[in-house]
Amino acid sequence: MDERKIVDIVDSVMTDWLGRTVWQSLKYHIAEVHNFNANKPNEMVEGSESFEKLLTELLGTGAKLIFRQINQKLVELFQILDSAEFEYSALGDYSKLIEVSRNSDSKSDVKKIGLKNNDR
């Protein structure tokens, strides 16, 4: 799995909801505070727990809406890649997801790391 694809999806959804200027500003702010490079997809994905935490704190219920839509898009992406059907709680699971997708494409492995079944 290419981290770039995940970052592109996150960027696209965030831009739709918050606007390009707000999202870019918040992204670089969070990356600076948590000391990672927002221009490097692997660092962005690894820093996803920081995003989840701060965006949840700042956006409250709004964050849940955004995360749900990101999850939907990622589910679509992984289905296209013939991966398992799943829904994970929020941004913080992206790095685990990538790790699993690198090592295995089986549904059981995805479940092992605690990702919830898609309950739509």
**Interface residues toward other proteins, by CB under 8 A:** 15-22, 25-30, 32, 54, 58-62, 65-66, 68-69, 72, 120
Nearest distance, CB of residue 8 and other proteins, angstroms: 17
Rank residues 61 and 108 by Cβ distance to other proteins and give the closer one: 61
Nearest distance, CB of residue 64 and other proteins, angstroms: 9
CA-CA distance, 117 to 63, in Å (whole number)?
A: 21
Computed over its alpha carbons, how large is the radius of gyration of the chain?
14
Cβ 82 vs Cβ 14: under 8 Å: no
Q: Which amino acid is at 88?
A: Y
Rank residues 40 and 59 by Cβ distance to other proteins and give the closer one: 59
Nearest distance, CB of residue 29 and other proteins, angstroms: 2
Nearest to 94 by CA among 102, 64, 120, 56: 102
